[in-house]
Amino acid sequence: MGKRQKLMKEYGIVLIFIVLVIVMTILSPNFAQPKNLINILKQTSINGILSLGMMFVIISGGFDLSVGSIVGVTGVVAAYLGMGEHPLIVGLLACIGLGALFGLTNGIGVSVGNLPPFIMTLGMMTGLRGLALVISGGQPVTGISKEYVNISSGFLFGVIPYLAVYFLIITVICAFILTKTVYGRRVYSCGGNLLAARVSGINVKAMQTSVYMIAGIMAGIAGFLLTARTTVGAPTAGDGYEMDAITACVIGGVSMNGGTGKWFGVVIGALIISVIANGLDILGVSSHYQKIIKGIIIIVAVLADVNGKTKKA
Amino acid sequence: MKRKVISVLVCAAMLMTLLIGCNRGSEKTDDSSSTDEGTSKGDLKVAMCMSHQTNDFQITVTSAAIEKGKELGIEVVVFDGNNDSATQISQIESAVDQGYDGIIFEPINVDAVQNIVTYATDEGIPVVNVVGAMSDWEEYVAAYVGGDNVTAGEMEMEKVAELLDGKGNIAILNGPMGSDPQIQRHEGYDNILKDYPDITVVNEDDAEWATDKALNIVENWLQSGKEINAIICQNDGMAVGAAKAVQDAGKKDIIVTGIDATSDGIDAIESGSMTGTVSQDAAGQGSLSVETMAKVINGEKLEKTDLRTENIWIDESNVSEY
């Protein structure tokens, strides 16, 4: 009985995902068309990458509201660098570098400055959005090269969208770091019990700083990709993306208290968000209703998580 | 310790604001002594309170206004209302209290600003509306300079109807539902659709003026199995996203249109992914509003108080002019 419950809790999310896909297919046969499934992969990629970064932060016991704004700033920078005058790698490195820098700022604020993560990242979220507007002069940056656009529209072997490939690569890297390295274990320890982690010799300040840098780097990559996908570097891009990243983590079973959560839960969480949006769009349901549904799912997911915890105790 | 740090940070922020403020003051006097055209001490100062400053259209309006101001010897100071009515009211109030010679503004909420405008005019400060008009503007402000969102919507839908030969399936992408441009542009659409019973609206949603939201929504619509012949977007930002989705799906004969003629839309028309847009002459609105304000400040009688800029349809045939 206990073992079954444990399995349900760990892999229940996969079951929910499968049920959701079946329901959507029944409601609209066009949902299961290969072209549509590929679209879902494309649409999940950017939020997926953001969510994986957020995952590190939340598991370590923190919280990051600024990733959406980082996407905006890096997206604008990437657009300026992506007009064909520089090799594309320059834009990518700039985004990763900026993301790491902003993440570092977050991390230092939390670990050294002892600011509550919510407050620190809230300040960064607001400030960076302003920075994006200043750099771009308030307007979307247009004129990126076809080569850059192709990064997000192209297909590997003609079938698998590049965006999904990047998402897969990043998922593999993140999963490996989280589950197979000492660093990963330490992330969980910090989230589980910060004091115990410090006492057992873990450099907690370094840990905290590093997870925010990871989230920042992921956001930088997401910003780079989003500009390619939308063909413009909009200063308002990424607005609200931090919410979807957090939602994916929550649905995926990452506890807001830190210390628990599996990478595949986060991936499935991101997929669920896209599947719902995609399915409802195909059915012609207004995005306003979709927001209500998303909200309900978040609350239900957290309820399940909280209940799971009290049952364990 | 924490409280000390916070109080130090707050003091630093306040100090910075003071320094920036003083700096702007000294910059102004430098300008007035170095340039000889127009600007001089005792320059007229006009506040321009816009709804937001985060897109091409808005920036074009204010840039043109500032330029026109320089020509006429008026310093135009732009305020960003952040799409929040309360913020805008505070900004207008400050403008009055700081002694601006005139206030040009774009109402965020057409029914919320009556009192503050009365406050301004009671203090002898002329007020002009730009881009959008407050309710009963004739009784409150000296003039309204703007585009006409209803006729812009009509022009867009009429062009699409022509291109479709009067029949087909269309999809509509709205701005934030309930916002004035959204309501008025949709009114324009409805006015035209009345006369085309063979055109059916098969999909409609709210993409909040955003390129990425429009991209995702259209991407999904194109998988729904319904045939779509044209996608009508209430602004170019969304049209660019819709056009990208159409290109990615390989359905290049779907007509995609927008409104605003912002640089992203113009680029898309040039590259062929977007069919056309309606220019509401953003620059014209900006400069005409300052011209009009100058006349009012000088006590000139205006021949017309309702000044609309022309809507121009831009497609591949004339896009090179923009």
ipTM of this complex: 0.76
Q: Find out whether A232 and A75 touch, Cβ atoms under 8 Å.
A: no
Contact B206 A288 (CB under 8 A): yes
Q: Residue B190's pLDDT is what?
A: 96
Structural domain contains residue B114: yes
CATH of the domain at B63: 3.40.50.2300
Which residue has tokens 């121009």?
Answer: B312
B189 and B224 housed in the same domain: yes
B204 and B295 housed in the same domain: no
B220 and B268 housed in the same domain: yes
B188 and B199 housed in the same domain: yes
Structural domain contains residue B166: yes
B236 and B162 housed in the same domain: yes
B139 and B161 housed in the same domain: no
Structural domain contains residue B31: no
Structural domain contains residue B297: yes
Q: What letter would DSSP give residue A7?
A: H
Please state the pTM of the whole predicted model: 0.79
B301 and B270 housed in the same domain: no
Q: What does the longest C-alpha to C-alpha distance in chain B come to?
A: 73
Half-sphere exposure of B276 (CA within 13 A, CB side): 22
Mean per-residue pLDDT, A190-212 = 91
Structural domain contains residue B33: no
Task: Estimate the crossing angle of helix B180-193 against helix B149-163, to 10 degrees.
Answer: 40
Q: Residue B28's pLDDT is what?
A: 38
**Which residues of A are less than 8 Å from B240 in CB distance?**
230-232
B140 and B286 housed in the same domain: yes
Contact A231 B240 (CB under 8 A): yes
Q: Residue B56's pLDDT is what?
A: 82
Domain that holds residue B51: 41-147+282-309
B245 and B101 housed in the same domain: no
Strand partners, B169: B200
B93 and B198 housed in the same domain: no
Structural domain contains residue B94: yes
pLDDT digits (tens, 9 = 90+) for B268-298: 999 999 999 999 999 999 999 999 999 999 9
Q: Residue A310's pLDDT is what?
A: 57
How far is the C-alpha of B130 from the C-alpha of B231, rounded, in Å?
A: 29
Share the mean pLDDT of chain B. 87
Q: Residue B19's pLDDT is what?
A: 60
Tell whether B211 lies on the interface with A, counting CB pairs under 8 A. Answer: yes
Q: What letter would DSSP give residue B310?
A: P
List the single residue in B207, B217, B223 with the smallest CB-CB distance to A33: B223
Q: Find out whether A269 and A54 touch, Cβ atoms under 8 Å.
A: no
List the single residue in A133, A138, A281 with the smallest CB-CB distance to B220: A281
B128 and B177 housed in the same domain: no
Structure tokens at A254: 């990452």
Residues whose CB falls within 8 Å of the CB of residue B13, separated by 6 or more in sequence, listed in order: none
**Which residues of B are less than 8 Å from A143 in CB distance?**
267
Higher pLDDT, A1 or B290: B290
Contact A232 B211 (CB under 8 A): yes
List the single residue in B220, B241, B262 with the smallest CB-CB distance to A230: B241
Total domains in the fold of chain B: 2
Structural domain contains residue B320: no
Which of A215, A216, A192 lies closest to A202 in space, CA to CA? A192
Q: Which stretch of A36-50, A233-247, B30-44 has the lowest confidence by average pLDDT?
A: B30-44
pLDDT digits (tens, 9 = 90+) for A94-129: 999 999 999 999 999 999 999 999 999 999 999 999
Structural domain contains residue B6: no
B136 and B186 housed in the same domain: no
